[in-house]
Amino acid sequence: MNGYLPYTKSIVDYQHNQILAAIDHALKNLEICEVKFGEGFAEGIATNRNNLETSYDHKVSVITFTNTQGKKAIMYHFACHPTILNGNNVYISADFPGEVSKVLEDRSDVNCAMFINGLSADISTRFTRKASTFQEVERIGGKSEEKIKQAVREYLYLFANEGECENG
């Protein structure tokens, strides 16, 4: 089984039901919010996983949603296989994107942070990670969080009407 647990229908059904419940909850709790979009760069987080000399996409895209009470959600998009932890890890983990979300929620005005993986093909932390440990997850996660906050500070634009943007 190569270290993987067998397929367990009850776990899959549970996940499926949780996803449906989350969608239902979201639809029942829609709110008016301000939406901002920005892009920045996250150099030093990942590289081409086969060749350090080959170019790769190091862009980080960010969308923030702020409701009328000031609560903020953020979605960040970055192309990288989140594989700091290797096959020896037997724990369920969100790897470095989970650490990024945790840090954004703990140390800023963000109430909810969500990672969306980009087209990561040959992009990974193979050459940027120093170890395959939870401490390294925290290091890369903290570094990534800084890049995301920089994108928010420097490159965020307010969505106005019908897709128009204004610097904000």
Residue 19 within a domain: no
Q: Domain total for the chain?
A: 1
Q: Report the chain's mean pLDDT, rounded to a whole number.
A: 86
Q: Is residue 102 part of a domain?
A: yes
pLDDT in tens, 135-158: 999 999 888 888 888 888 777 676
- Determine the structural domain holding residue 104 and report its residue range: 32-160
pLDDT range class, residue 165, cuts 50, 70, 90 = very low
pLDDT band at 16 (very low <50, low <70, confident <90, very high): very high
What is the pLDDT averaged over residues 97-106? 92
Half-sphere exposure at residue 46, Cβ-oriented, CA atoms within 13 angstroms: 31
pLDDT at 107: 83
Model confidence over 54-66: pLDDT tens digits? 888 888 899 999 9
Q: What is the pTM of this model?
A: 0.76
Quick check: is 24 in a domain?
no
Virtual torsion, Cα 110, 113, 57, 127, nearest 10 deg: 100
115 falls within a domain: yes
